[in-house]
Every structure is written in structure tokens, then in C-alpha cells.
Amino acid sequence: MRAFSAFGFALIAASASAAPPVPAQLAARIDAHIDARLKAEKVTPAPRADDTEFLRRAYIDLTGRVPAPHDVHEFLADSDPNKRAKLVGDLLDGPRYATHFATVWRAALLPETAADAQARIFQPGFEAWLRLKFRANVPYDKLVRELLTAPISADPRAPDPVLRDPAKPNPLAFFAVKDAKAENLAAATARVFLGVQIECAQCHDHPFGRWERDQFWQTAAFFSGVERQGDNLFDPVSDERRREIMIPNTKRLLKATFLDGAEPKWTADALPRTVLAEWVTAKGNSYFARATANRIWGHLFGRGIVDPVDDFNEANKPSHPELLDELAQALADADFDLKFLLRAVCLTKAYQRTSAQTHPSQADPRHFSRAGVKGMTGEQLYDSLALATGYREPGGRSTARERFLTQFALRGPATEPETSITQALALMNGRFLNLVTSAAGSPTLVAACETPGMTPPERIEVLYVAALGRKPTVKELERMAKFVALGGTDRQAERLSDVFWVLLNSAEFRLNH
């Protein structure tokens, strides 16, 4: 059996200092790694993003939507040299952080919800459970342990806990959408929490990777006890303490064994899922810390240091291995406080650079010489449209949001800036966008059109700040003012509506840059 350590990573070391990590110090070390690589490769880094670009990026990355106009004006008027650090802290401590990151982690843990309507039944309760954890800033290793060891009733008379109340906070969706099958749970656990794709070895040894078929099924054996006795997802489990699994279509019975080849030290009452969860999240497990740090980095930059973020293998080496080591060590030293790592990365020069290419040497995104350009997820786009336009769904319902997300569901990584033709057409011609760029659906547009005493350029500026988080340039203002003026006084509102529609359909609005 190939050893788990063959990837070339050392174990996470015990912290040499009892002092808690400091985000600003980690940010400086991150920049030192990035800058050293840029210098060695003769790459000219992009300049610092202006305040409007940084503000919008931070809001989308940390809260899942664009800033409100009053946030834009307040930030631009602030002369405090430390206002960016303060902003990051305020966003991480605000209510939107938990909501947004519950969505981000649900998408990673339940990718089935993107295309499977039945799987989406379990989404509300799972996101509610994640929101509680992120709101309390539960250490990520503890969150993962709670997820992997969630109690599953063995009592056939027990009521179905998820279908009875789909909105009630519950982590069991992780098991339900994977049909409580050991092989599905093993593959998801390794992919999301360790960053490796062992499912490629489910039927045979991976031809290019390092995983063997036995390793896959030895990992699946930890979940063999949650297999259902019947066809229903919530039929009772067979035996939670089962520690072995039969490879399908063979007579080979394999014992639960860690991916590094080590055999667990079992106690009489040990539950296999608990034993696996402790091993996965142990500070000494280099894969867990690196996979987590890499996923956070990928969220903020649009690509991981290892990319894709869930595909660590010998043929897909990290672009900055020492940096990844540093991030993983710092995260472990911070007791897997995700806010600590998010704060530190957002304070870096690398994160705060403009996304615009300002030099030919900046073409390779693996250098992180400029900020990444990321496509918005459906949730980010809807919430940003609703905020920019001031739209509120009547009666507190969410049917418009659900319909929009179904129509606009991203297929593939959300970090890709390209959107499909279907998605683009859905946005340009969709009923929702037409509604929120009309007086009936947009309080923002009504205010821009009807506030007394405003000049046409001032009305246009209101729409720019709401949609793009910035004022129009001189040329943009001249062009839009001329367009509005051609409509005359009688058609000014109609022309302003057209301006708003164009801004909300622009790549500048649709992309996180």
C-alpha cells in the first residue's frame, strides 16, 4: 500500500509558541511568499485596488452580496488609514457572514443540491445548522467532527428528523443526499475535508493518482454501519459499530483503515465514524489543515494554491508549497478559526491588488500577481440584484429567489468568470430582472427618478453607485446623460430604467473582481 505521506507533506508541527497567531503578521508572511515568487519569475505585481474595487470584493467574498449605497459613501468618506482592516473585521463579525458561509459550505458539502430537486429538500435545514455554527464561530475541526458523527437513529419507530421539519437545523442532509452509502460518504469526506479524490479508486487502482482500490474501501468501511436496512433513506441503520465492508462483486472483506495505512486503536465502545472524524481533524493530519486553508484561499482568490481545491495529487502540485505550509500551520495554531485565516488573507497586499491586468507578465493566475476574477454564484447574484434594486418579495416569500436560483444554477466551479449562454440570457431576458428594473419592483429606481431637485447626472450617479458601487467616469456620465436627454422629460424615467438594466447586465456587475 502506498503511504499517505508520499504526497510530500510533513505533518503539522506542534506550535512553538503559546501566543495566539496575529492576522497582520500572517498577512505579512503571505505577502513575503507571493512577492518572492513574483520577483523570481520577473512578474510585475498589479497596483493596489482603489477603495471602491476593494469594498465591493470584500462584501461579496465575506457577505455574499454587493455593498449598499450608504456603505459605499461611508467607506469612501472615511479617511482612517486602517479602514480596510476595520471593514474586514466588521464584515466577519456581522450577521451576513454566517448566512453567506453557510451557503458556501453547503455547496461544497452538498453539491447534489445544484441539480437534484429531491436533494434540495434537505438544503434549508442543513444551511440553518451551518449558520448556527458559523454564527458562533465554532472551530472548523469541531464543526467537521459534529457533522461526521451526527446521531442517526437505529430505531425503526423514530420519526424522520429531516422530512418532518426540513427547515429545522440538522446536519443529517450530508448523509441523506448521499443515500447513506458508505462509498459516497467516504468519497465526500476525503474530497471536502482532505482535498483528495479517492473515488477514482472505487473500482480499480487510480491509474494516475496514488490511491489504491483497497484504500478507498478501507475508508468506506468507517461508514458501513450507516447503511440502511431498507430502501428508505431513514430506515434504521444496521450496525453503527460495524468496522468492515465487503467490496462489491467480490468476496473480499476489508477492515476500516486510515488513508495513511495506520490501523485505528479500537476501544470496546468506539464508533467507527467517531474514530475517523478524530483522525481527519487531528492537528497532526497535514491534509486536513492544508485542504481547509487551500479552500479558503480559493474562495478569496478564485483559484486555490492547489487547483482545483479538492484535487491534491502528485500531478497537481501547489503553486506555492511553502505558502500553503504556512497557511496550514497558522490555521492549526489558531485552533482552526476560519475567521482568523479569512481576516489575515484579506489584509494582504495580494488580496488588495486590482484585478485588472496592468502588465503582460500578469497573465498567469498561478502567480497571484493580481486579484482573481470570479463568477458570482446564483445566491450572490440574486442577493446583489435584490440589494442594488431595493427589491423585497411580497409577503416575505422566497419563491422569486428559488425560481431564479433554479434557472441560474451554476454548473461547474463558481470561480469560473464565464457564464453559460443560458445563464446570460436568463439574466438579460428574465422576468426577475425586468421586474427589478421597473418602478414596480425597484425602490432604488423610483428614488432615482422621483427625488425632487436632482439633475439627470445626479440621478444616473445614484444608479451607478447602487449597481456598481462606484460613481460613473466622466465619459460614462456624458454618454448616459446624453442617452437620457434624448428621451425628453416625458421619457426620463423610462431611459433611467434602461440605464439601470444595462448596468445590472454588465460584466462589471455580474463578476466578482
pLDDT for residue 311 is more than 80: yes
Instruction: Note the Cα 474 to chain centre separation in Å.
Output: 36
Same domain, 360 and 495: no
State the CB neighbour count (10 A cutoff) for residue 93: 10
- Residue for cell digits 480559493? 298
pLDDT bin (cut points 50, 70, 90) of residue 350 is very high
pLDDT for residue 413:
45
The domain boundary, picked from 261, 281, 301, lies at 281
Pairwise pLDDT comparison (306 vs 165), residue with the higher score: 306
CB of 469 within 8 A of CB of 67? yes
pLDDT for residue 407 is more than 80: no
pLDDT for residue 300:
98
Same domain, 226 and 358: no
Pairwise pLDDT comparison (121 vs 46), residue with the higher score: 46
pLDDT for residue 484:
96
State which residues form the domain around 158.
Answer: 103-281
The amino acid sitting at 418 is E
Same domain, 400 and 440: yes
Cα dist. 72→48, 391, 476, 490 in Å?
A: 18, 19, 19, 31
pLDDT bin (cut points 50, 70, 90) of residue 421 is low
φ/ψ of residue 62, rounded to 5: -100, -20
CATH of the domain at 500: 1.10.3130
The domain boundary, picked from 281, 311, 327, lies at 281
In percent, the amount of the chain with pLDDT more than 90 equals: 68
pLDDT for residue 494:
95
φ/ψ of residue 228, rounded to 5: -80, 150
pLDDT for residue 414 is more than 50: no
In percent, the amount of the chain with pLDDT more than 70 equals: 84
Q: How many domains does the chain contain in total?
A: 3
CA–CA distance, 50 with 59 (Å, rounded to integer): 14
CA–CA distance, 493 with 128 (Å, rounded to integer): 41
pLDDT for residue 513 is more than 50: yes
Tell me: the pLDDT tens digits for 365-402?
A: 999 999 999 989 889 999 999 999 999 887 666 788 88
pLDDT for residue 7:
45
Same domain, 266 and 144: yes
Same domain, 318 and 364: yes
Tell me: the pLDDT tens digits for 76-118?
A: 999 999 999 999 999 999 999 999 999 999 999 999 988 888 8
CB of 512 within 8 A of CB of 60? yes
> Is the four-CA dihedral 313, 348, 415, 135 of positive or negative sign?
positive
Omega cis (within 30) before 472: no
Same domain, 411 and 502: yes
pLDDT for residue 453:
95
CA–CA distance, 239 with 253 (Å, rounded to integer): 16
Same domain, 82 and 108: no
The average pLDDT across 135-150 equals 98
φ/ψ of residue 208, rounded to 5: -115, -30
Report for 223-227, 237-241, 345-349, 422-426: range of highest mean pLDDT: 345-349
pLDDT for residue 296:
99
- Spell out the residues 6+ positions from residue 348 whose beta carbon is closer than 8 angstroms to its own: 27, 30, 31, 34
Instruction: Note the Cα 454 to chain centre separation in Å.
Output: 40
Q: Which of 88, 155, 146 is nearest to 344 (CA)?
A: 88
pLDDT for residue 154 is more than 60: no
Q: What is the pTM of this model?
A: 0.92
pLDDT for residue 470 is more than 70: yes
Pairwise pLDDT comparison (407 vs 471), residue with the higher score: 471
CB of 354 within 8 A of CB of 57? no
Same domain, 16 and 77: yes
Same domain, 381 and 365: no
Pairwise pLDDT comparison (21 vs 234), residue with the higher score: 21
Same domain, 121 and 169: yes
Lowest mean pLDDT among 122-136, 166-180, 219-233: 219-233
CA–CA distance, 59 with 417 (Å, rounded to integer): 18
CB of 382 within 8 A of CB of 405? yes
pLDDT for residue 244:
85
pLDDT bin (cut points 50, 70, 90) of residue 167 is confident
Q: Please give the radius of gyration of the chain, using alpha carbons only, rounded to the nearest integer.
A: 25
pLDDT for residue 171 is more than 50: yes
Lowest mean pLDDT among 130-134, 443-447, 504-508: 504-508
pLDDT for residue 394:
78
CB of 378 within 8 A of CB of 409? yes
Record the cell numbers describing residue 229, joined without a space: 436496512
The domain boundary, picked from 281, 314, 330, lies at 281
CA–CA distance, 346 with 58 (Å, rounded to integer): 8
Average pLDDT, the chain: 88
Pairwise pLDDT comparison (275 vs 234), residue with the higher score: 275
pLDDT for residue 410 is more than 70: no
Q: Which of 409, 342, 401, 416 is nearest to 111 (CA)?
A: 409
Same domain, 320 and 277: no
- Spell out the residues 6+ positions from residue 287 whose beta carbon is closer than 8 angstroms to its own: 4, 7, 9, 194, 195, 196, 259, 312
Same domain, 114 and 188: yes
